[in-house]
Every structure is written in C-alpha cells, then in structure tokens.
Amino acid sequence: MNELRFETGESAWKRLCTIGGVAILILFVYSIITMVALIVLGGQPSIAEEAFTLLQNNRIVGLVWLDVLTVIVYMPLNYLLFAGIYVALRRTNGAYTALATTLAFVGVTLVLATPSVFFHGLPE
C-alpha cells in the first residue's frame, strides 16, 4: 500500500519536472523569435517620443517593442521553469535547492510587481 502512494507521489513530481521542461522549450523558442525580430525589424525605439509615435501608429507593434510579451508570457513561465529545476535537483541538496527556488520565485514576483507602462495605461 505504501509503495502505491510513493509511486503516485513520484509521478506527480515527474509531471512537474516535465512541465518545467516544456516551459524551458517555450522560453527558448520565444527567445529565438525575439532575436530574429530584433535583427529583422530593428531594435526598440531609442527615445520616448519614438515609442509614443509607434504606439499611436500601430498599437500592437508598439506593445511588442515595449516587451508586453515578456511581461505576459516570458516572466510567468519562469515559475514553471524554476519549479521543474527544483524537482530535478531536490534530492541533491534539498535545503539549498529550496532556498534558490524561493529566491527565484521572489525575483520573478518582484519583476512582475514592478510598475510599468502596461499597468498604468497608455497615453491617448
């Protein structure tokens, strides 16, 4: 009976590790797409006036250049990534792994909680 519970618990850990692996693949593809976009379309606006003009002319392109996808997609996926890393390394040194994962979660949370243009509204 105890072996059955242990296997179920291990399969849950393995599932979380798999989810972390999928998250890193999504993050990798996102990074490649971002690099190609920057090379092909050019970098971000260098001054605020260019950014506002871009937002007025084409709001979607302006938001992409202001890294809205980083806030919406990239940063939240880091939670899954670090959870998967924790699962993979928890048996090596549980205390340090738990500390590192906690610090990573705090860091991602602070980045997401930092005020940005997306949360204060765009100029009309």
Provide the domain count of the chain.
1
Does residue 49 lie within any of the structural domains?
A: yes
Q: Return the half-sphere exposure (C-beta side, CA atoms, 13 A cut-off) of residue 12.
A: 6
Whether 110 maps to a domain, the answer reads: yes
- In tens, the pLDDT along 80-123 reads 999 999 999 988 888 999 999 999 999 999 988 886 655 544 45
DSSP label at residue 43? -
Flag whether 109 is in a domain: yes
Task: Indicate whether 15 belongs to any domain.
Answer: yes
What residue type is 27 in one-letter code?
L
For residue 124, tell me if it sits in a domain. Answer: no
In this structure, what is the dihedral angle of CA atoms 96, 100, 101, 104, given to the nearest 10 degrees?
180
| 121 DSSP 8-state letter | -
The pTM is what? Answer: 0.70
What is the tens place of the pLDDT at every residue in 1-60?
445 454 456 788 888 889 999 999 999 998 898 888 778 877 777 777 887 888 888 888
